[in-house]
């Protein structure tokens, strides 16, 4: 199965730092992949390069089999919603109308539905919209385009939690009806965790995790209880983090837990709290930072 997006040893350096370093990544077709990472990790840079809006310093990008840079044929099949999109001095309906001309799979019906969902006034100038509403316009375009390759870079800037949920619901509903390759970057991991089929984590310009969501989820758990019982349980397992207070300790173990492990923990009167996707990402980032500091 040819990946929809194929990035090989991609690098992007600016005068004083490397935004991306040696990024090699394949994004599978017709799946929702999450691009996770901290602010400044390189998510936006990576997506901008994939969308051919930014130039790579080294390495290659292939989207739908070709280099997207200055490639009208491929660019037509991509839609990129970025969080800091600058809109012209148009009214909302002008922006939507212009977008409809350039996307072959455009659905006007969906666009109108979404405009109503987000309560966007069609005749208001873009300049007069709040940040959240501007983001909503971007989302309307990104979803109504039904582009084969849909790149969403933290498209919800300024959107309140209710609007964000509308976005997730509409994304999922339309994705189910019209499958496409979706790459969604976010730092609100808990909110989208269930939507993701595949997870990519980027930190300081490098890929740390690239795995199916199910594999990543439940990979680690926090074992808590009396210190000696905890130690007995975690013996022989990869220990990711350890915290002790008096005779009580809390240890994060990796490697995943099976049914019998849960039973064993219960026998030892220990609490088992699996790490959520967000906690796992945070943890991975922290350990990498520590490793870098001590290196």
Partner 1 sequence: MNTYLKVARYHLVNRVQYTLLPLGWLAFAFAVCVVIFTIVDPSTKNGHVGALASIFFIFLALGVQSVVQLLPFGFALGLSRRTYYLGTVLLVTGLSVTYGLLITIMQEIERATGGWGGHLSFFRVPYILNGAWYLTWLTAFMGLLFFFLLGMWCGLIYRRWNLIGVFGFAATVITVALAGALSITWTHTWSGFDHFFRALSATGLTGMIAALALVLLTGGAGTMRRVTV
Partner 2 sequence: MRNETTVLDDGTPLFLQIGAQLADDIADGTLAEGDRVPSSNEFAAFYRINPATAAKGINVLIDDGLLEKRRGIGMFVASGARERLLAERRQRFAQQYIEPMLAEAKRLDMDVELLVSLLHDTSKRNGDGDR
Binding site for partner 1 (CB under 8 A): 48, 52-55, 70-72, 75-76, 78-82, 85-91, 94-95, 97-99, 101-103, 138, 141
Residue 55 binding target from partner 1, partner 2, none, CB below 5 to 8 Å by type: partner 1
Residues 6+ apart with CB under 8 A from 221: 252, 253, 257, 272, 273, 274, 275
Instruction: Tell me which residues touch partner 2 (CB under 8 A).
Output: 31-32, 168-169, 172-173, 175-177, 194-197, 213-214, 217-218, 221, 257, 263, 266-267, 272, 274-277
Smaller CB separation from partner 1, 55 or 291: 55
- Report the partner that residue 79 touches, choosing among partner 2, partner 1, none (CB closer than 5 to 8 A by kind): partner 1
What's the helix, strand, coil split of the chain in %, to 5? 40, 30, 35
Q: Is residue 136 classed as helix, strand or coil in its secondary structure?
A: helix
Q: How far is the CB of 164 from partner 2 (least distance, A)?
A: 12
In order of 8, 57, 91, 236, 275, the CA distances from 16 in angstroms are 23, 14, 39, 43, 36
Q: What are phi and psi of 143, to 5 degrees?
A: -85, -45
- Helix axis angle, 161-177 relative to 108-117, nearest 10°? 160
Q: Closer to partner 1 at the Cβ: 41 or 56? A: 56
3-state secondary structure of 10: strand
Q: How far is the CB of 184 from partner 2 (least distance, A)?
A: 11
Give 195 or 209: the residue with its C-beta nearer to partner 2: 195
Decide which of partner 2, partner 1, none touches 206; Cβ closer than 5 to 8 Å per partner kind.
Answer: none
């Amino acid at each position: 199965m040819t990946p929809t997006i194929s990035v090989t040893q991609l690098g992007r350096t600016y005068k004083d730092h490397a935004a991306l370093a040696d990024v090699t990544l394949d994004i599978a077709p017709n799946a929702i992949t999450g691009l996770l990472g901290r602010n400044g990790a390189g998510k936006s840079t990576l997506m901008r390069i994939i969308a051919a809006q930014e130039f790579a310093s080294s390495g290659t990008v292939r989207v739908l089999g070709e280099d997207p840079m200055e490639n009208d044929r491929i660019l037509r099949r991509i839609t990129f919603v970025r969080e800091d999109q600058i809109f012209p001095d148009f009214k909302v309906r002008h922006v939507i109308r212009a977008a409809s001309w350039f996307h072959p799979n455009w659905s006007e019906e969906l666009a109108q539905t979404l405009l109503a969902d987000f309560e966007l006034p069609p005749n208001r100038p873009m300049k007069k919209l709040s940040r959240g509403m501007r983001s909503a316009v971007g989302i309307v375009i990104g979803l109504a385009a039904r582009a084969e390759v849909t790149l969403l870079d933290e498209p919800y800037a300024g959107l309140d939690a209710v609007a964000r949920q509308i976005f997730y619901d509409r994304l999922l509903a339309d994705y189910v009806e019209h499958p496409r390759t979706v790459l969604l970057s976010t730092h609100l991991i808990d909110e989208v965790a269930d939507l993701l089929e595949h997870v990519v984590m980027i930190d300081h310009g490098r890929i740390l995790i690239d795995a199916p969501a199910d594999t990543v989820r439940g990979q680690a758990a926090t074992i808590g209880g009396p210190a000696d019982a905890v130690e007995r349980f975690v013996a022989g397992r990869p220990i990711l983090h350890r915290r002790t207070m008096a005779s009580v300790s809390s240890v994060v173990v990796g490697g995943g837990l099976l049914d019998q492990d849960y039973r064993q923990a219960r026998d030892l009167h220990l609490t088992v709290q699996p790490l959520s996707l967000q906690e796992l990402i945070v943890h991975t980032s922290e350990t990498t930072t520590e490793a870098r500091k001590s290196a």
